[in-house]
Amino acid sequence: MKRYHVIVEGRVQGVGFRAFAQSHAIQENLTGSVRNMENGMVELYVQGEPAAIDRFLDAIQNGTRWIRVDDLTVKEVPVDPAEKKFRTSYSYGWY
């Protein structure tokens, strides 16, 4: 089990990126969260099996015809044993 903090840069706001990320996370049985940042980037936390996380990161990096990922910054962080699902924030903060 691994957990990563990911910052996504590119055309990732207003194009369905959060829903896209959540869909792929659920498909891979990952937990975590995704939210827009005020600077136009998107912040993710993703947790699960390393191979599933790799597939998830590949999928979001490839995007869709509307989503364009220019850069991913990925940092390993401690696992959160209490986390049970993948959630999306619809504002510039967690709630």
Q: Quick one: residue 58, left, alpha or beta (phi over 0 = left, psi -120 to 50 = alpha)?
A: alpha
Mean pLDDT by 10 residues, the chain (95 residues): 97 92 96 94 96 96 91 97 91 54
Q: What pLDDT is recorded for position 95?
A: 43
pLDDT at 14: 87
Interior CA angle at 37 toward 23 and 90, to 5°? Answer: 50
Other CB atoms closer than 10 Å to residue 78's CB: what's the count? 7
Other Cβ atoms closer than 10 A to 67: 20
What angle in degrees, to the nearest 10, is found between the helix axes of 50-62 and 17-27? 150
Question: Can you tell me the distance from the alpha carbon of 57 to that of 48, in angstroms, rounded to the nearest whole number?
Answer: 12
Enumerate the active-site residues: 18, 36
For the chain, domains (ranges, CATH) are 2-81 (3.30.70.100)
Reported pTM:
0.89
